[in-house]
A and B are shown apart, each in its own frame.
Chain A
Amino acid sequence: MATITVERSFWQALPKPKAESGFWSWVTTVDHKRIGILYFWTSIVFFLIGGVEALLMRLQLAGPNQTIIGPDLFNQLFTMHATTMIFLAIMPLTASFFNYFIPLLIGARDVAFPKLNAFSYWMFLLGGIFLNSSWFLGGPSDAGWFGYPNYSLKEYNPGLGVDFWIIGLLLTGIGTLVSGFNFIVTILNMRAPGMSLMRLPMFAWTTMVTSFLIVFSFPVITVALLLSLFDRLFGTLLFDIFAGSDLTVYHHLFWVFGHPEVYIIVLPAMGIVSEILPVFSRKPLFGYSVMVFSTMLIGFVGFGVWSHHLFTVGMGPVVNTVFALATMIIAVPTGIKMFNWIGTLYGGRIRFTAAMMYALGFLALFLIGGLTGVMLSAAPSNAQIHHTYFVVGHFHYVMIGGALFSLIAAIHYWGPKMFGRMLDERLGKIGFWTLFVGFNMTFFPMNILGVLGMPRRIYTYAAGMGFETWNAISTVGALIMGLSILITLYNLLTSLRRGEPAPADPWDGRTLEWTIPSPVPEYNFARIPHVSSRDELWVRKHPQLAHGAVAETAAAEEAPEEAIVMPGGSYMPLLVALGLFVGSYGLLYYMPVFWGGIAVSLLGLVGWALEGDNLRIVRPGGSH
């Protein structure tokens, strides 16, 4: 056999990034851990922006007849607050943990498609910048996070705000969709030997089901957004009621996405809690297989309940009843999970670390979110409270009490692995209690206000209707929440500099990420682990539990590899994303720029396919 002929085409001859540290190494990285860290800090910045927007609204609502913020700005604030928190803060923060921990939890060296992974991040960042740049380019959308036509049409909403909102969501949506494909393939196809599906950590299961929800629901909102964008930009008549349109088509398309979106946010939170509770109870997760199947059931039924957002559009009693019942059924698998978590705690030796306290906070607050959800699912009572603060209270118990509490739990639990430093436990606990108190002060009064009849999305209210006290309490609570977030941020930033160096296994953990050093080396595992148990590390630490299985698999593991081939960086993911980003401005201002952007993206795609692998060899173990 002849030697390998190295044919270098034009594309393969293009310069490849070589930097291992500094700015360009981050811009061109395809390492899942670095991408996870980029997601982490970017989402925190957007989270702070969304938080300031929320505080401004709470200040305006602190008392009756206030004029701190006028109605126009108020409408923009609630639109951008919701959009930012959902798409730019919570989802990417979960994506940060998907990125950093899914390969570690399943015993892999990276995700299935590292370059696509980088592309997902750039689409998120640039889409977020595009969306928020509308603050400086004539003002953002004020049409709500749902963007219903016909209020969102050009006729009633001139200016570019809604266009920025639609295109911004399309851009981040591309990134989300791509990461959905990536994580399903990673979890199904990149598992270490012995890591059968029923040995996957729960967080990997919830990530996979979440990714399936993304794959099936994001194309639907894409269609809804594109149709209203065509109406706005090109004068089509899809949502023109005078041309015979039916606006509920948009409503249905939006909520076919919108309801699964709730589970896209909450399922990863459930996965995080399912990782943390066993560790700090020193017990295996109770009812693992039931947890897996209830996760799938939630994902599956979650696609059949969307019309509970449309009980009052006149679908008729039969349809309303069907969707009300389907919605109530979701309480069954969710309730099963709740009892499994309680079962995990039962009889355990519980350690009240900050991470554990946030996870327990999740249990209590998500329960309230779930129960108020069941109250809303009954169509008759829904008709009374659906446009009131009751709904605002309900979904914040799900989004904050559910998702945010578990994400902050994850910061305390996984932060040491990501950053190599322990967070301060005392500050963590102070952060927990302030958030817990502030959160309940902010949002429990909203449930009461809703029943009293205070409508949502109204910039002020008259005195003497019984709204003053509850609103004042709510605003004070919101300020306490803001304080708590600052404490957590201070803890994070100072711990990164001065915190104690984190050992490999600071929490006496149970899963594979704790078998490797903190922070994790570039190649993750010097040798690919062989897995013999659901709680692999726990069984390794307590071999008497394994009945000899560990000895077998340990013998099967290879010696540490001397040279590991890792993918090197690439300019192409950023180039493709930049083309779409710049092109999007062109679509709104100057069409040639649009076509130029598309051309850059297509060239980037060709380069992506043909540039070849920028492989590099990493040698674990000293001989640098």
Chain B
Amino acid sequence: MSQASVTAAGRLAGHGEAAHAHHHPTSLGIPNQKLATWLFIASESMFFASLITTYMVFRYRSVVGPHPDEVVNIPLTTVSTFILLMSSLTMALGVSAAHRGEMRAVGKYLALTILGGLGFLVIQFYEWWHLAHDFGLTWRTNIFGSVFYILTGFHKAHVIFGMLWLSVIAISSFRGTLRKEHAVNVDVAGLYWHFVDVVWIVIFTLVFLLTEAGV
């Protein structure tokens, strides 16, 4: 069978991964990557829903302290929440730059987004250190500690993964290899980043604000 490798995508009827060089109409009109990312987000929502539910059931069941209402730090967490939300803004600007075809600008906005993620993480890790150091709360102290560190830890892991993902795109933007037809890749990374932010808003409300309000 004769074969040759080609550098530009040819007529590959409806091919997802290969199609980013040359968009083929899909049955629904939505790019495959975007549809898959929405499904991924649906699945991740179930993941965090399960974790958050577990947190809500376990948070006041510890037989020894400290308990949630003794340790939450609203001002500090509000600052980190604000930073993370601002990183969603720069992410949105990056996506819009990609749609306008300004592929070099994408990298700048993504770098700002990554910086926002970094700021959030620094404050959050400081808070972990603060809880462990000043309250003696580790994930082996009591059941609240276990479920608190695991829930916020999985969220942090998602932020870190998002930062790595955005770095790959940002680097290719700076190197000039990010082209117009890659806009959908920026799009789906943006969807993921916004999702991680939304999850944090839920965590912030349930883990921090509700506790402060005494619920």
Which segment, of A4-12, A123-131, A427-435, faces chain B?
A4-12
Chain A residues lying within 8 Å of B58, measured Cβ to Cβ, are 238, 244-246, 249
Contact status A181-B40, CB under 8 Å: yes
- What does DSSP make chain A's interface, helix, strand, loop or mixed? mixed
Residue of B nearest to A217 (CB): B46
Query: Which residue, of A112, A226, A619, has the highest number of chain B Cβ atoms within 10 A?
Result: A112
Is A23 an interface residue when CB atoms closer than 8 A count as contact? no
Query: Which residue, of B1, B63, B177, has the highest number of chain A Cβ atoms within 10 A?
Result: B1
A552 CA / B147 CA spacing, docked (Å):
62
Interface residues of B in 172-205 (CB under 8 A from A): 172, 175, 177
Is B73 an interface residue when CB atoms closer than 8 A count as contact? no
Q: Mark B1-33, 1 if CB is under 8 A from A, else 0.
A: 111111111111111111001000011101010
Q: Which of B2, B12, B43 contacts A219 (CB 8 A)?
A: B43
Expressed in whole angstroms, the minimum distance between the Cβ of B58 and any Cβ of chain A is: 7
Q: Which of B27, B36, B147 contacts A113 (CB 8 A)?
A: B36
Contact status B32-A236, CB under 8 Å: no
Residue of A nearest to B3 (CB): A616
Is A253 an interface residue when CB atoms closer than 8 A count as contact? yes
Given the contacts A238-B143, A249-B54, A614 and B5 also touching, CB distance less than 8 Å: yes
Given the contacts A237-B143, A249-B54, A109 and B13 also touching, CB distance less than 8 Å: yes
Is A463 an interface residue when CB atoms closer than 8 A count as contact? no
A528 CA / B13 CA spacing, docked (Å):
8
Contact status B39-A184, CB under 8 Å: yes
Is A220 an interface residue when CB atoms closer than 8 A count as contact? yes
Contact status B35-A189, CB under 8 Å: yes
Interface residues of B in 122-150 (CB under 8 A from A): 139-140, 142-143, 145-147, 149-150
Is A324 an interface residue when CB atoms closer than 8 A count as contact? no
Is A190 an interface residue when CB atoms closer than 8 A count as contact? yes
Is A216 an interface residue when CB atoms closer than 8 A count as contact? yes
Expressed in whole angstroms, the minimum distance between the Cβ of A413 and any Cβ of chain B is: 27
Interface residues of A in 532-564 (CB under 8 A from B): 561, 563-564
Listed A/B pairs (15) with beta-carbon separation below 8 Å = A108-B13, A112-B16, A185-B32, A215-B39, A223-B51, A227-B150, A238-B58, A238-B143, A238-B146, A240-B143, A242-B63, A243-B142, A244-B62, A567-B17, A609-B168
Residues on B lying within 8 angstroms of A by beta carbon are 1-18, 21, 26-28, 30, 32, 35-36, 39-40, 42-44, 46-47, 50-51, 54, 57-58, 61-63, 139-140, 142-143, 145-147, 149-150, 164, 168, 172, 175, 177
- Given A215-B39, A220-B46, A227-B150, output 16 extra A-B contacts at Cβ < 8 Å: A111-B16, A113-B32, A185-B36, A188-B27, A188-B28, A215-B43, A219-B46, A237-B140, A238-B143, A249-B58, A256-B50, A563-B11, A565-B6, A567-B15, A617-B3, A618-B3
Q: List the 6 closest A-B pairs by CB distance, nearest first.
A: A219-B47, A236-B146, A244-B61, A223-B50, A189-B26, A112-B16
